[in-house]
Amino acid sequence: MVEVLDPPQSATRVGSRRRRGRACITCKVRRVRCDYGQPSCNRCLSTGRKCDGYPAPKAEGRDPPPVAVMLVIDSPMPTQCDREAVTAFRFFVQVCAPGMLNYGSHYFWNELVLQACHVDESIKHLTIAASRLGSYRLLQPCKPPSDKDTVFLAHYGRALKLLSRSKNPDPGFLLMACLLLVLCDEFQENSFAAIQHLIAGRKILAAYRPAAASLHRSRSTSNNAAIAELDQIFSRLELHTSELYHIARPQSMSWWCKGDAATDSIPLYPQLEPLQLWARIEEAARALQGLAFECTSAQLDGAPPQTRFQIVPHLTARLNAWLDELTAFESDMYAHLTAAMLMDLHLLRTYHLCLHVLSRCGPFRQEAAFDAYAGTLEHVVVSCSLLVQRRRTRLVPALFFVATRYRNASFRRRAVDLLRQCGLDGQILAQIAMRVVRVEEAGLAAPIVGSDVPAKNRIRLVDVGFDTAGTGSYLLRFTRHPHRAVAGEGGGDGDCENDRDGESVPLEHTALSTQACCWAVPPQTSSHATGLLDAVLRFDFMAFWNQEDPAFTLPAGFGPV
C-alpha cells in the first residue's frame, strides 16, 4: 500500500508567500487579496482604481558563474597633500636623519625613528611634519616657515590628536614624540616651546625610571634599548641647554650663597691642594680659549645648523666634550670648591654658551641666524647681571658679543648698560656697541625683536682706527651682507682669499669721536681701542681674565671727562 503524505507546513507557507509576492503593487499597498489578472488586476479595475502593475519577477535558480569579476575598492586617488607627504618622508630619510649627529646617535635617527614610523601613527605624522619644515628651512635658512602650510598643519594636528587620545601610550614613543616636537619647534625658531617639550620629556622619564625594573621583564629588549638611548639623549640635552642646566643641577648656582667656609667639609681627596683646583680651572679656561679662536676664524659654506641636533664640523663635538669634562670636574670636586671657584666655573659656562652660538652662526655669514638663539643669548645677559659685581672685567667679551650680534632691542641695550659697569675698557666698548646699534636700527620704526632688523641693516665689525686725516675721530669699519670685504680693504671677516664666489662688499665706516670714548684730549695712538676691539672680535676672554692686571695699557690722554 502506498501512503500519501501531506506536504509539510513550511513548504505550504513558502508557496503562499511566493504567491502573495506576485500580487499587484496596488493590492499590496491596500493589503487585499489580488486576483492576479493580466495585464491589470480585475479587483482594482472593479473598484475604479488604477492598477500599478506587478513587480518584476525574480529569476529562479542559480545564475551561471560569471566569466570575470570586477573588484571595486573604495580608495580615492592620492591627493596632492598625500604626494607631498610621501616626498616629505623621503626627505627626512635622505636628508634630515643623516644630518642629526648631535646628542642622538646615527642609529637612533636613521633606524629607531624610522622603525617607529611603521608602528606608531603619531610618530609617522610628526616625522612628516618635521621634515616638511626642514625642507623649507633648507631653501630659506634665515626665514621661519609659514604657519599656513597645509601639509605640515594636517600631519602635526593628526599627531597631536593621536597622542592626546592614547590611553596607555608606550613611554618610548612618547619620548620620541617629544624630541620630534622639539625638532619642529626649532625649525620654527620657537625656543620657548622647545624648552617646554624638553621639560615634558624629563617628566616622562622621571615617571618611567621607578618602574624600569618591572618594565624590563614585560617589554622587549629592543624597547628597553630604545628607552636607554632616549634617556641618554635627554640627559645630554639637560646638560647643554642653558635654561635647564641649573634646574637639573642646582648646586652649580650655589656660589650665589656658598661661603668659603664650605671648603671645611670632609675631603674626598685629602692630598688635593687649592692651588691644584685653581690650576685645573685655568687649564679649562685655556682649552676653551683655543676653541674660541677656532670659532671666530672659521669660514664655512652652506646654511647654518637649523636645530640643536645638527652639528658644525670640527667644532660642535669639541665644544660638547669640553663642557662634559667641566661638568665632571665640578661634580667630582664640588665639596672642595670655594665660592670664587664656582663663580669662575659659572663664568666659563657663560663663555661656552657664547661660543656655542658663535660656532653655529658666525662662520656662515648669515647674521640673521643669531635670532634663533634668543633664549641662550638672553640667559647670557642674565648670568652677566649676576656676576657683574664680582667679575666685572671678565664679562666684557660676552656682553660685547650679545650687544653687537643679538638684535633684540631691549637685551642688547641691557648688555650695553652692563658693559658700562665693567671699567674703562667696558665703557669704550659700550660706546662702540651703541654705535653698532644705531647704525643697524637707522631708518627702522621702533624695532623690538631681532627679526625687526632686516639682514641688509646688519653689520659685522672689522676694526677701529684713529683717523689720520686729523679729524680727531676714530673710524669704525664694518661690512654688510655678505660680510666679506673687497680685496685690499682690510682684514677681519673680510678675508679676501675666501672670496671665490665673488660676493665681496666694500668696507664702510662710521666716525666715532674720542669724546664718546671718554678721552679728554685726542690720544696720539689708537692702539688701545684697536686692541680692545680686536680682542672681543676674536673672543679673546683670556685677555680680560686677570682683573688685577689690565690686559692693555691705556693710551696717553685717556681718562674720564
Q: What is the pLDDT of residues 167-200, one digit of tens each?
A: 888 889 999 999 999 999 989 888 889 999 999 9
Classified as helix, coil or strand, 300 is coil
Total residues found in the chain within this entry: 561
Which of the pair, 62 or 48, is modelled with greater confidence? 48
* Mean pLDDT score across all residues of the chain: 79
Q: How many angstroms separate the Cα of 233 from the Cα of each of 102, 124, 176, 205, 208?
A: 9, 20, 10, 11, 15
Which residue in 294, 300, 288 sits closest to 326, CA to CA?
288
Q: What is the distance of C-alpha 174 from the center of its chain?
A: 18
Q: If you compute the radius of gyration of the chain from its CA atoms, what whole number of angstroms results?
A: 38
Q: Identify the pLDDT of residue 2.
A: 44
Q: Identify the pLDDT of residue 126.
A: 95
Which residue in 545, 1, 550 sits closest to 282, CA to CA?
545
Q: What is the pLDDT of residues 321-378, one digit of tens each?
A: 999 999 999 888 888 888 888 889 999 999 999 999 999 999 988 899 999 899 899 9
Classified as helix, coil or strand, 474 is strand
**Considering the entire predicted model, what is its pTM?**
0.75
Count Cβ atoms below 10 Å from residue 15 Cβ, excluding itself.
11
Cβ-based neighbours of 125, under 8 Å, separated by 6 or more: 155, 156, 158, 159, 162
Query: What is the enclosing helix (H) or strand (E) of 504?
Result: none
Q: What is the pLDDT of residues 426-435, one digit of tens each?
A: 999 999 999 9
Grid coordinates given for 77: 586617488
Classified as helix, coil or strand, 482 is coil
End-to-end CA distance of the chain: 146
Q: What is the pLDDT of residues 115-172, one digit of tens each?
A: 999 999 999 999 999 999 998 888 877 677 777 788 899 999 999 999 999 888 888 9
Sign for the CA dihedral angle at 226, 232, 237, 238 comes to: positive
Q: What is the pLDDT of residues 453-493, one digit of tens each?
A: 998 999 999 988 877 776 667 888 898 877 765 544 444 44
Cis bond upstream, residue 39 (ω within 30)? yes
Cis bond upstream, residue 78 (ω within 30)? no
Beta strands in 160-269 (DSSP E): none
Q: What is the pLDDT of residues 54-92, one digit of tens each?
A: 877 665 555 666 656 555 545 454 555 678 889 999 999
- Per-residue three-class SS string for 103-164: CCCHHHHHHHHHHHHCCCHHHHHHHHHHHHHHHHHHHCCCCCCCCCCHHHHHHHHHHHHHHH
Listed as own residue / partner, the contacts of 10-19 with beta carbons closer than 8 Å and 24 or more positions apart are none
